[in-house]
Structure 1
């Protein structure tokens, strides 16, 4: 019979043997893995074409670097060599025959004019700068109001109210008595008194010729417009300085448009705009912004911009609804298709073509966007081809390969030279106009149309590089001038008085 001690001893021997086998297996596996890692590392160096390896990295954690090849501590995969050879590691390489299969398309960065338009809603309003307050100069009694009511439209000089002025009767009788004495000095004093009482020179002269006193004055409209306030009725008594009526003009009429707060930086004084009214859908009206109101609407988070529209016939009525298109100033700039831009949240990247089958990520600084094109302010040279389709696939491959993104200030010198040449030789335009205002570094001209730019006749400011060009010029002079345009706007090259 086997004793309890023998059973215990046999069990210990079994556990010890199993432990030894496990240790041998672990050691062997470690050795094989190291041998395999070393062999895989050599193979990856050969496949990548590196002549010198800077370091090793895990494509899933590219910021972590390793001095030796092997397996990644983060993922179950081999570390990848980072080559010192610029050509071997500067770009993602794709067989040129596969570029079309992957749907990769490119477009060149080229100079052009970006014309972003902003469409908003607007409402016509009375012209708040064309307002007249009608007040009597003397107290009296209202005899007639010519059947007028608030919101009636009156022409300039139209009668508004007849007022009986008792003081006029006594002054006129005294004037007749003075005329009978032949005292010219006293007569002049009496005429001055009647003028102070509100009688016009014509009324005084007519009274002197007829010799009949007239104590009723007819108050007329000083401007044409709508009666926005009427404070008199027949039979009432009015005091000197009392407001009888308020007349507001609407020729030109105001157009007030609501611009979203986020787009406030895109509007400026003098900016051109067009409007289509619901009442006249087939007609486009043009104007310019004359004011940007200083406060934003709390509920809608919009700012109000105000423009003037011509309204000689009065057919445009306050309160009419309009669709407004604001057109900011155009400028020549470097443009790429908007679909080429990869926005990561922290920066913007484009994939730049590098020879046959090569693509490199480059950081760019962007400006405005409109019509499917985006303005590139820095980071790209004119003529460089950027990927417009398939760029996300290339970007993922670049991240996995640990490629460094070309910084903004590393634009190729050839590109910078091309950009400098392009900007130093801009087109020159010629026109005629009239000087509206002269300041230290600019001149405001009311110029005729410029067909080469599709510019209508308008008033705008031009920058002056040499102030002495304006030495013999003044406001109102008719001039001939030549100008160019760059990132700063229109700039005068030469200007002289017009010689018909």
Structure 2
């Protein structure tokens, strides 16, 4: 009987010790700290899933219950709290590669999608100047090409006829005046003639039509309307026989010799765009052909819904191959770095139209399209001579690990020694990333296998991509290697502790 009691008591003690070891009480509870046989006195154990758990002996993680592993058993030797060592064999196996941090002028190639649109400065609405009835429309459908001065419509108007008759009668009265007529009477009639001529102009008659009226002395009740510009009829808004009011539109005509390419850019890209800058485009319906235009306008506001900035590019379309509504892909070369003067051989020392950037002249003058004074290209930041572009620090895109707002790289300070380095990023290019802070020119950064390096840092309980801010904070506090606070597991006594022990035992048995 006594032998059975001894055996039972021994089993209870062994079970209690096993439970305490599983729970980490032996390793973490100061009075009961017992290290595993064969482990070094200063060996630290950590959880692979929660590297902040660091204990001087083996046990289980109090968070997830996983078995703790030696902090240096992951292959990385403890150098300091900011770096890890990768053995040559591991490096070859993980294919860890590095590249140098470079500083040189960088041009960002920004690509975006846009749509061809009508040049609004070359549109005209042909409307009625008088109340009347449309008797004839010469442009029968949209798409008809018309030249400046072509007749578009004939409108019947009794009001126009009455105004013409009044002018002819007044002129007849002046012609019948005798030499004895009072000067004030003659002056009054002549002033009336001038007013009546202006009245006919306001009713839509041209100077040539008024001159013909005065010559033939035949009033007409029908007025021919001419197009003020050459172009293409893009809208036909009335039909023959319709009665129209003053100002009612009949046609809309657009000159398509130049068109707009409407683009949407992110604000940070639009900030580096300047008036007159070259833009390369490829039209969807004309694959393989390149069309070059220049920036004519950058929207001063950001679209609240899309969070983009509108950019308008002017394209020459003398052949009429560019059709409004067609889609296009645009490529813009943007310098990275501080913005200053840029050099464009076609704009150096030239004069440009502030409304139409395709109008470039060697001397000051007037824009033939809008009549505005040409301005010097230096006003828009174009240099007369080639200038050195600002240099930027950059690394391969694969070198940067990003998670949320955190960005880190691993710098090889010595052969096999990789140090975590939080960085502040600038523009992200196709295969490169501009680095504003955190690196120096010539440093070697990991470009392949850096996720393995980061996992080694996590297993060693050191700063990593998940929490690089600890490295920043601790490094600012002191220059010595960082030390993380040890988390000690304190047993819970009483009935609550017993229930918790039963819960853990059940959990570990299931596991």
User: Structures share a fold, TM > 0.5?
Assistant: yes
| Match for residue 195 of structure 1 among 198, 218, 228 | 198
Corresponding position: 1:212 with 2:217: yes
1:155-174 CA deviation, whole Å, 9 max, x = no partner?
22222223453121342133
Structure 2, unaligned runs of 5 or more:
27-31, 338-390, 477-511
Deviates more, 1:275-284 or 1:19-28: 19-28
For residues 160 and 93 of structure 1, do their structure 2 counterparts lie closer, same or farther at Cα, with a shift above 3 Å needed? same
Contact map agreement 1:274 1:285 (CA 8 A) in 2: yes
SS at match of 1:174: helix
Alignment match, 1:70: 57
Alignment match, 2:115: 123
Q: Cα distance, 1:219 vs. partner?
A: 1.9
For residues 78 and 38 of structure 1, do their structure 2 counterparts lie closer, same or farther at Cα, with a shift above 3 Å needed? farther
Q: Cα distance, 1:387 vs. partner?
A: 0.9
Alignment match, 1:92: 84
Distance in structure 2 (CA, Å) of the matches to 1:36 and 1:360: 31
Alignment match, 2:143: 151
SS at match of 1:398: helix
Distance in structure 2 (CA, Å) of the matches to 1:317 and 1:284: 15
Distance in structure 1 (CA, Å) of the matches to 2:396 and 2:153: 67
SS at match of 2:249: coil
Contact map agreement 2:296 2:313 (CA 8 A) in 1: yes
Distance in structure 2 (CA, Å) of the matches to 1:143 and 1:20: 119
For residues 218 and 13 of structure 1, do their structure 2 counterparts lie closer, same or farther at Cα, with a shift above 3 Å needed? same
Alignment match, 1:459: none
Quick one: higher RCO (CA 8 Å, sep 6+), 1 or 2? 2
Q: How does 1:394-405 map to 2 (within 5 A)?
A: 394-404=453-463
Q: Cα distance, 1:106 vs. partner?
A: 0.9
Q: Cα distance, 1:214 vs. partner?
A: 4.4
Contact map agreement 1:102 1:390 (CA 8 A) in 2: yes
1:420-464 CA deviation, whole Å, 9 max, x = no partner?
xxxxxxxxxxxxxxxxxxxxxxxxxxxxxxxxxxxxxxxxxxxxx
Q: Cα distance, 1:396 vs. partner?
A: 1.9
Q: How does 1:249-328 map to 2 (within 5 A)?
A: 249-257=255-263, 266-267=269-270, 270=274, 273-287=279-293, 288=295, 290=297, 306-328=312-334
| Match for residue 176 of structure 1 among 172, 177, 194 | 172
SS at match of 2:233: strand
For residues 396 and 17 of structure 1, do their structure 2 counterparts lie closer, same or farther at Cα, with a shift above 3 Å needed? same
Deviates more, 1:285-294 or 1:157-166: 285-294
Q: Cα distance, 1:94 vs. partner?
A: 3.5
Q: Cα distance, 1:343 vs. partner?
A: 2.7
| Match for residue 160 of structure 1 among 145, 152, 155 | 152
Q: How does 1:27-46 map to 2 (within 5 A)?
A: 37=36, 40-42=39-41
1:289-314 CA deviation, whole Å, 9 max, x = no partner?
6355976889xx99875433222343
For residues 59 and 363 of structure 1, do their structure 2 counterparts lie closer, same or farther at Cα, with a shift above 3 Å needed? farther
Choose between structure 1 and 2: higher strand proportion.
1
Contact map agreement 2:106 2:335 (CA 8 A) in 1: no
Distance in structure 2 (CA, Å) of the matches to 1:211 and 1:383: 89
Distance in structure 1 (CA, Å) of the matches to 2:332 and 2:153: 44
Q: Cα distance, 1:389 vs. partner?
A: 1.8
Q: Cα distance, 1:227 vs. partner?
A: 2.4
Contact map agreement 1:255 1:308 (CA 8 A) in 2: yes
Distance in structure 2 (CA, Å) of the matches to 1:303 and 1:389: 36
Contact map agreement 2:47 2:67 (CA 8 A) in 1: no
SS at match of 1:40: coil
Work out the number of aligned pairs and report it. Answer: 378
Q: Cα distance, 1:105 vs. partner?
A: 1.4
Q: How does 1:433-448 map to 2 (within 5 A)?
A: none
Distance in structure 1 (CA, Å) of the matches to 2:245 and 2:95: 85
Distance in structure 2 (CA, Å) of the matches to 1:25 and 1:78: 23
SS at match of 1:106: strand
Contact map agreement 2:127 2:247 (CA 8 A) in 1: yes
Q: Cα distance, 1:352 vs. partner?
A: 0.9
Alignment match, 1:58: 46
Distance in structure 2 (CA, Å) of the matches to 1:357 and 1:144: 88
Q: What TM-score, normalized to structure 2?
A: 0.61
Alignment match, 1:378: 437
Q: Cα distance, 1:35 vs. partner?
A: 7.0
Alignment match, 1:50: none
Contact map agreement 1:173 1:213 (CA 8 A) in 2: no
